[in-house]
Chain A
Amino acid sequence: MAYERLDEALKMLSRKQLLELDTCARCALCTDLCPVYAESKNPLHAPGVRSSRILSLVNKRLSLWARLLGPRPLSEGELEELVESTYHCTLCGRCMEACPFGLETHELWLSVRSLLNLLNQTPPRITMLREMLRENGNPYGLDADMRLDWVDYTGLEEAPVKDRAEVAYFVGCTTAFKAVNQEIAYSIASLLNELNVDWTLLGEEEWCCGSPYLLAGDREGAREAAERNVEALKARGVKTVITGCAGCFRVMRWEYPKLLGGPLPFRVIHAVEYFSEHITSGDLKPEPLDARVAYHDPCELGRLGGVIEEPRIILRVLTTNPVELPENGLEGRCCGGGGLLQAVDDELRLSIVDARLRQTSELGVEILTSACPSCKLTLSDGVRDRGYNLEVLDLMELLARQMGL
């Protein structure tokens, strides 16, 4: 173990994060509510255990005692266990919302991933994913010229890639490349066409938003991705960027200003925000559906992104029978699709989504909607794997469908 490197990496933790680690009163509320621990029952996966492990590491190496008496060595397997703990987390932020002292664990877990990245301790499958990101600009290892294939697959007639436009639709990799999600892109594009908006796609110039880089602990990679996308959007004189992906939305709206050190020259909004305004103003008048429809809050849109009411505005006009799931809004239960958990432990991801689908089916829900391609992917995988009788749709798909598009 190269201790100099470890000590340098530990110095990445900010003073607020060290204060937070010391503040944890070990009340275990975070652990009681963690969707990962609830399914795995592995103590290492409990958020409170994770923070204790990090604190122990900091105290062994950087505390005053360590400075006076010399830093203490790590015990056998300590770092490996921290890797196991850190990557068995969906980064849903439920622990943060549960914490009575408001410890910003979401940010802390991301910093720990950066720390492990510096120590070359990132799990091999995550390292592979990062290499694909660097090479292709998406986490699926597909060529950039396949980014618009969804247009042909879905039969969308008008998909403009313009030099200048008021609005840009940032599709996102999981929507553009994953077949199960391509209807989301079709729906958003069709709705923009229906409203006669001056809009554009970035086409091959669209690059990964940077979210997977952050989840893999590569902040520099995320900054480069942000720079590239912002340049492409700025060059088109875009005033508003719309995305239907909760991950892209959170990173572009909340992380880009931090990564780039200043405000963006355009506003970033999620498609549910954009279209809920048009529903409220009467520009869009969908036909309500007579079915029990529920909305699952994507963690990155709701709790971590601050968009909670808008999808509900849309849901209420799309169905005569909206259903509110338990654990919703700020306390939304994670589907398991976040934090790159799929790459590390797919079986666990399916157990987590099963818990959410059980809640849904107990309420007799016929259509389960969300506003995130990762959620749709995971919920669909769960329905297929565990045999639920439930249709999974993105809210935008349902909106386009009820608009007859």
Chain B
Amino acid sequence: MTLNAYPALYTFSVGVLPYITVIAFVVGVIIRSMKWLSAPRGSPTPLSLTAAIRQMILDVILFRKIYRHDKLTWLLIFLFHISAGGIIFGHMRGFKLWSAELFAPLSEGFKNFLVETLPIYMGYLFIATQLILLLRRLSLEGRKLLSHPNDYAALLLLLAASIAGQGMRITPPEAVDTTYTVSFIPRLVVLHLEKIPSTPWFLLHVILTQLFLMYIPYSKLVHIYTGVITAALYGSRRSEYGL
């Protein structure tokens, strides 16, 4: 069985859906941006680059404020984001943004650990932290109070996409020693697989991930990119106050 075992689904998820994803994502970003830009400017915040970068590193990357107030939540969120970062970085290899040669100076064993073994553990960690965070959201008073049904939709979509991705990793590939190229958008978004994965997991992962990407600008997931801007502005504002 090859990746083309379900030709219609394959054509849709790899040949059509990527264009829909890009359009939906771009349109979403434009709609959101238009909404913000249609409002008045308000009082300007004098930009302090140092303060803005400091704030971004401490609060958006290291989650300092969460650490101060709730160590367990911080640990979960930190591990969740670290594993997400690792997984995104790993995917970039498939899209030829880096190659395993990057680790050439390291011993063969360690290189294999980084490229082959670690991603599997990252996947488990990613799924586990998501599950725990979801359970906490469902059970803790403050989080329950603030959560909307569409927040759960975003979390469930990401969880399903991650489980499908992990399924792809841990189930035996359909063919080994055979590279395979998936051209989502010719010459622009091309995935180079070292092995042919099991078809159902692959298709499920590809579809769910694209649905997730499409959903970002229409949901609270916009904080993925707007959070960087607001933290930078806050850092600048606080430096004005000498804080």
Given A13-B39, A52-B148, A98-B65, A29 contacting B70 (CB threshold 8 A): yes
Given A25-B220, A26-B220, A101-B231, A64 contacting B146 (CB threshold 8 A): no
Task: Give the interface centre of A25, A49, A52, A258 by most chain B CB atoms within 10 Å.
Answer: A25
In chain B, positions 15-53 with a C-beta closer than 8 Å to chain A are 31-32, 34-43, 45
Residues in B whose Cβ lies below 8 Å from that of A11: 39-40
> Considering the chains assembled together, what is the distance between the CA atoms of A28 and B145 in angstroms?
8
In chain A, positions 17-34 with a C-beta closer than 8 Å to chain B are 17-20, 22-29, 31-33
Q: Closest Cβ of chain B: how far from A13's Cβ, in Å?
A: 6
- A48's nearest neighbour on chain B, judged by CB, is B146
A16 B233 Cβ-Cβ under 8 A: yes
Number of contacts between A and B (CB, 8 Å)? Answer: 129
Task: Give the interface centre of A17, A28, A330 by most chain B CB atoms within 10 Å.
Answer: A28
In chain A, positions 286-338 with a C-beta closer than 8 Å to chain B are 305-306, 308, 330-331
Which of A52, A99, A254 contacts B241, CB < 8 Å?
Answer: A254
B39 A52 Cβ-Cβ under 8 A: no
Residues in A whose Cβ lies below 8 Å from that of B189: none
Residues in B whose Cβ lies below 8 Å from that of A13: 39
> Considering the chains assembled together, what is the distance between the CA atoms of A52 and B149 in angstroms?
13
Residues in B whose Cβ lies below 8 Å from that of A99: 65
Q: Is B142 an interface residue (CB 8 A)?
A: yes
Q: Closest Cβ of chain B: how far from A19's Cβ, in Å?
A: 5
Q: Is A263 an interface residue (CB 8 A)?
A: no
A100 B63 Cβ-Cβ under 8 A: yes
Given A24-B223, A27-B66, A254-B241, A43 contacting B39 (CB threshold 8 A): no
Given A26-B220, A48-B146, A100 contacting B40 (CB threshold 8 A): no
> Considering the chains assembled together, what is the distance between the CA atoms of A43 and B223 in angstroms?
23
Which of A31, A100, A305 contacts B66, CB < 8 Å?
Answer: A100
In chain B, positions 126-164 with a C-beta closer than 8 Å to chain A are 140, 142-143, 145-148, 151
Q: Closest Cβ of chain A: how far from B192's Cβ, in Å?
A: 34
> Considering the chains assembled together, what is the distance between the CA atoms of A306 and B237 in angstroms?
11
B146 A330 Cβ-Cβ under 8 A: no
Residues in A whose Cβ lies below 8 Å from that of B70: 29, 32
Which of A14, A97, A101 contacts B39, CB < 8 Å?
Answer: A14
Q: Is B9 an interface residue (CB 8 A)?
A: no
A49 B146 Cβ-Cβ under 8 A: yes
Residues in A whose Cβ lies below 8 Å from that of B31: 64
Q: Closest Cβ of chain B: how far from A264's Cβ, in Å?
A: 15
In chain A, positions 226-256 with a C-beta closer than 8 Å to chain B are 254
Given A25-B220, A306-B242, A17 contacting B39 (CB threshold 8 A): yes
Q: Is B222 an interface residue (CB 8 A)?
A: yes
In chain B, positions 204-233 with a C-beta closer than 8 Å to chain A are 220, 222-223, 226-227, 229-231, 233
A15 B42 Cβ-Cβ under 8 A: yes
Q: Is A118 an interface residue (CB 8 A)?
A: no
- A103's nearest neighbour on chain B, judged by CB, is B230
> Considering the chains assembled together, what is the distance between the CA atoms of A330 and B242 in angstroms?
12
Which of A14, A101, A258 contacts B223, CB < 8 Å?
Answer: A101
Which of B41, B68, B235, B237 contacts A15, CB < 8 Å?
Answer: B41
> Considering the chains assembled together, what is the distance between the CA atoms of A226 and B122 in angstroms?
57
With A23-B229, A25-B220 known, 19 other A-B pairs at CB within 8 A are A14-B40, A15-B36, A15-B42, A18-B36, A22-B223, A25-B223, A27-B66, A29-B70, A31-B142, A48-B146, A99-B65, A100-B65, A100-B227, A101-B231, A102-B59, A102-B231, A103-B230, A254-B241, A305-B241
Interface CB pairs A-B, < 8 A, 15:
A15-B38, A16-B45, A19-B36, A22-B36, A23-B230, A26-B147, A26-B220, A28-B140, A32-B69, A62-B38, A64-B31, A100-B65, A100-B66, A102-B234, A104-B233
Chain A residues at the B interface, C-beta cutoff of 8 Å: 11-20, 22-29, 31-33, 43, 46, 48-49, 52, 62-64, 97-104, 254, 258, 305-306, 308, 330-331
Chain B residues at the A interface, C-beta cutoff of 8 Å: 31-32, 34-43, 45, 55, 59-60, 63, 65-66, 68-70, 140, 142-143, 145-148, 151, 220, 222-223, 226-227, 229-231, 233-235, 237, 241-243
